Chains A and B, each alone.
Chain A
Amino acid sequence: MTSTRTTRQRAVIAAVLAVAMAVAARPALAQSPSQQAGRPQPPPATKPATKPAGADAASQPQTSGAKPAGTQPAKPATGGPQAKGAKAPPPKKPAPPRTSKIWKGRGFAVVSAGAQVAAPGYTSTAAFKVHAENATLNADASVGAGPAFGARAGLRVWKNMAIGAGLEVVPTSQTLDVTGRLPHPFQFNQFREVEGTADGLARTDALVALELSWYMALARRVDMFVFGGPAYINVRQEMATRIRFNESYPYDTATFTGVDTTSMSGGGVGVTAGVDVSYLVTKHVGVGGELRYSYASATLKPSEQPAKVGLGGLQAAFGARILF
């Protein structure tokens, strides 16, 4: 098995993971009012009802109902019985409806399962020895539909924008339309043309992405994220290395029976973009669907001839959503 992952690609993976980890580990900064929703809200500053004579805010401990000295603004009364005659705080405001155009959450997490509905194909060639002469294999690969499993998470960093990471795994299979030229066993330069199809060749795409997401509220309980960013896509797949065939005397023709394969892996940096629509069942938990397109390419070398393999594809998935 040959790994074609380069040092540069590893560095990109490491960078993506490092950013993801750094975002995860970022300490909470000053919280916006919306971030404090659900917490005890301080009452708005009010004029104190009474001002004890001679009281000096600078020297006296603050007591319930005490009036700060001078022009200093009144400190809010927290805890303790309200000063006699103090004005009651206004009732807590209800949570803003989710149709607000401003995202007031802190982040999101998504897990999804679905299917890859389209993927880029590739062509590969291989040369191999048959009957003391070079044979050639040309494979036109199409990647079939298959399940897709993904997860994404992110933290809001500015307005409706979140930064986070996404992961997606798509185990699927490939079908190869194979053509080949097979040398004759007894004569040089007398090739037999063969063609056939080989299917069921395993392939798994794994995507790790650094994603910027933009939040949009579509309805009271319906949100949408549009996301995209750089992605590293790794593929592990079977690649055809030689043609298996039947032949019999006089060997002027040969019959394709399949291909020999080797498992190869590699990866490349590309892009991913998608849209995720969620419906919140509770305040923080919901369900949603996602449509994602990703693309990168990797160069794999099943024989002397390298093959540029398209990675990623279009995936549709559904799953649980957490917004907080």
Chain B
Amino acid sequence: MRPARWPVRRALVILAVLSAALLFPAHPSAQAGASRHAVAASDAREARAWDVQITRMLRDGQLRSRGEEADLLIEGRSHERLDQYHQGVKVFGGELVRQADGGQTVSVFGLVYTGIHVDPEPVISARDAAAIAAEITGAVAGPDLAPELVVLPTDEGDYVLAYRLRVLTAEDLTVFFIDARTGKVAMRYSDLQTTIGTGQGVLNDTKKVSTTVRNGAYLAIDVMRPPAIYTYDLKGNLARTQLYLNGLVTLNENDVAADDDNQWTDTAAVDAHAYAGWTYDYLYKRFNRRGLDNRDLTMTSIVHPVRREDWASVPSSVLNLYYLNAFYAGRGIMVYGEGLPPGVTMGGRQWTYFSGAIDVVAHELAHGVTDYTSDLIYRNESGALNEAFSDIIGTSAEYFYQQAGSGYMKADYLLGEDLSSPSGAFRSMADPQAYEDPDHYSKLVTGTADNGGVHSNSGIANHAFYLAIEGGVNRTSGLSVQGVGASNREKVEKAFFRGFTQLLPANATFSMARAATLQAARDLYGTGGDVERALEQAWTAVGVN
């Protein structure tokens, strides 16, 4: 009798089988739910079974072929997409994708919904559904974007007969599902696919670019910041640029700067788009200001308003405005000059795209801030203060993002020094006289040129700003100033921002600017503080009392 050996053998065999099962578990190829089936048939037997099933469903009208496409990589193979239908109504998300090799099914993947008991007859019309969405968003979809009747599988596991439509607003692209019986919103979601790409800037630096994916292309639409930021590429179409700036045409998605792979190579668009965002960030972080109007006004940048190669044939006015300049055109719109072709010099220097310098971009956007605040009249002293405020914000933004130093992409008190080669600048806040601008009120430029010398006389306020931070001696007055120091620049920036945006009237004078910034310093840092002292010395040094 050998009764004991067999249980042991059995036990060990069971152990071995269990071991194998645990160590080599099977992988399910499909997951089945109560009302939907995920299909992942990738072996021959499963694929054949689904082939039969698909044939039956096609015959019964539960599936409709959307078409077949040849495989781009493997010759002889094709891919067919099949949409699920319920009594003639498309089931949203119900789809099978069948791969075939010479008529032989290789794989089937997809999702099929079951247990659908929905009356396919809608109560409201497609037009009613569009009106409901328009009421919610304020945007009306055109006739080409008619709502589509679908059976919507809900997150709760049941089904709703609904109209599906996409509505684009300035803030979002929303997909609505309007219940075709009740008119209520059965589901909605944002269809905006934001991404961060990278791009090469004008000075060959690499930046992040906030973009939006639409129809497989990456567009220079930034919806990650509170205001939408658009960068349009006008592709050298000056007539269209001017029509747009005059409000005679609207730009559309086809005008938005685009890139195929989100690795941007249009350097002008990259810098215009990125620096617009950076400037918004600077204003928000430094002054808690929400954009140009403090209400997150949409920011629009225009690049390539003209064609570089036309530079020699255009009138000088066009050359000066659309090639060698950047300007704020109102309503949150900035236009950046195209620069000159490589090798072409003007004033002994080559000029690149005018969006390629953070101080220039921030300067133009600061005009927008002025527009929505003190609205300093752009002539004479108030005009000079308007320009000075933009220079101050431009330089401050530059210091906010770049290391102090000299040369390209270094923070300094020069304006626009990154746009030309050899490096030059339009103005200097440290030494206005170096660019033939007054550094003292006694040298105020008068006359009608340049609206009463707004781009020259800005040097007086610019130099006061510089002295209040860095300290030093005014060349004209010989008065020295004890600045707050570079590490405390934020205090002076805030005093100027507060004074210029909140305290000054539209027809302000230099004297008013002095009083406003001193008041702002007292408001922010108390009477008799180092900021008030520095500002008082600085304004006095530049001859403004």
Chain B residues with CB under 8 Å of A232's CB are: 23
Q: Which of A184-225 contact B (CB under 8 A)?
A: 185-188, 204, 206, 208
Known: A25-B9, A166-B15. 12 other contacts (CB 8 A): A23-B12, A109-B7, A109-B11, A151-B15, A165-B16, A167-B19, A186-B196, A188-B207, A206-B19, A236-B25, A324-B4, A324-B7
Q: Which of B246-280 contact A (CB under 8 A)?
A: 262, 274, 277-278
Chain B residues with CB under 8 Å of A251's CB are: 224
CB distance from A307 to the nearest CB of B (A): 20
Q: Is the pair A1, B15 in contact by a Cβ cutoff of 8 Å?
A: no
Q: Is the pair B12, A153 in contact by a Cβ cutoff of 8 Å?
A: yes
CA distance A153 to B15 in the complex (A): 9
Q: What are 30 A-B residue pairs whose CB atoms fall within 8 Å in the complex?
A: A5-B23, A16-B19, A20-B12, A23-B12, A25-B9, A28-B5, A106-B4, A106-B5, A106-B8, A109-B11, A131-B196, A151-B11, A151-B18, A153-B8, A154-B8, A164-B12, A165-B16, A185-B196, A185-B208, A185-B224, A186-B196, A186-B274, A186-B277, A186-B281, A188-B206, A206-B23, A232-B23, A234-B23, A267-B23, A324-B7
CB distance from A140 to the nearest CB of B (A): 27
By beta carbon, the residue of chain B nearest A251 is B224
Chain A residues with CB under 8 Å of B25's CB are: 236
Q: Is the pair A107, B284 in contact by a Cβ cutoff of 8 Å?
A: no
CA distance A132 to B131 in the complex (A): 39
Partner of A155, one of B8, B27, B198, B226: B8
By beta carbon, the residue of chain B nearest A185 is B196
By beta carbon, the residue of chain B nearest A152 is B15
By beta carbon, the residue of chain A nearest B23 is A234
Chain B residues with CB under 8 Å of A208's CB are: 15, 19, 22-23
Residue B13 at the chain A interface, CB threshold 8 Å? yes
Q: Is the pair B208, A188 in contact by a Cβ cutoff of 8 Å?
A: yes
By beta carbon, the residue of chain A nearest B226 is A249
Residue B210 at the chain A interface, CB threshold 8 Å? yes
Q: Is the pair B13, A250 in contact by a Cβ cutoff of 8 Å?
A: no
Task: Name the residue among B9, B12, B14, B19 with the largest chain A CB count within 10 angstroms.
Answer: B12
Q: Is the pair B13, A24 in contact by a Cβ cutoff of 8 Å?
A: yes
CA distance A186 to B210 in the complex (A): 7
Chain A residues with CB under 8 Å of B196's CB are: 131-132, 185-186
Interface size on B, residues (CB 8 A): 38
Chain A residues with CB under 8 Å of B1's CB are: 39
By beta carbon, the residue of chain B nearest A31 is B2
Q: Which of B8-38 contact A (CB under 8 A)?
A: 8-9, 11-16, 18-20, 22-23, 25, 27
Residue B485 at the chain A interface, CB threshold 8 Å? no
CA distance A292 to B307 in the complex (A): 79
Chain B residues with CB under 8 Å of A186's CB are: 196, 208, 210, 224, 274, 277-278, 281
Chain B residues with CB under 8 Å of A249's CB are: 224-226, 284
Residue B93 at the chain A interface, CB threshold 8 Å? no
By beta carbon, the residue of chain A nearest B277 is A186
Residue A309 at the chain B interface, CB threshold 8 Å? no
**1/0 per position for B21-62, CB-CB distance to A under 8 A?**
011010100000000000000000000000000000000000
Residue B120 at the chain A interface, CB threshold 8 Å? no
Partner of B19, one of A1, A13, A204: A13
Q: Which of B193-212 contact A (CB under 8 A)?
A: 196-198, 206-208, 210
CB distance from B199 to the nearest CB of A (A): 10
User: Which residues of A does B touch, CB under 8 Å?
Assistant: 1, 5, 13, 16-17, 20-21, 23-25, 28, 39, 106-107, 109, 131-133, 151, 153-155, 164-167, 169, 185-188, 204, 206, 208, 232, 234, 236, 249-251, 267, 322, 324
CA distance A154 to B262 in the complex (A): 64
CA distance A233 to B4 in the complex (A): 30
Q: Given A107-B4, A188-B206, A249-B224, A132 and B197 touching (CB < 8 A)?
A: yes
CA distance A249 to B198 in the complex (A): 19
CA distance A106 to B198 in the complex (A): 73
Q: Is the pair B208, A132 in contact by a Cβ cutoff of 8 Å?
A: yes
Q: Given A28-B2, A236-B25, A21 and B16 touching (CB < 8 A)?
A: yes
CB distance from B38 to the nearest CB of A (A): 16
Partner of B22, one of A5, A107, A206, A322: A206
Partner of B8, one of A13, A16, A107: A107
Partner of B281, one of A24, A39, A133, A250: A250
By beta carbon, the residue of chain A nearest B206 is A188
CA distance A25 to B8 in the complex (A): 9
CA distance A137 to B287 in the complex (A): 34
Q: Is the pair A17, B20 in contact by a Cβ cutoff of 8 Å?
A: yes
CB distance from A22 to the nearest CB of B (A): 9
Chain B residues with CB under 8 Å of A17's CB are: 16, 19-20
CB distance from B148 to the nearest CB of A (A): 32
CA distance A232 to B15 in the complex (A): 14
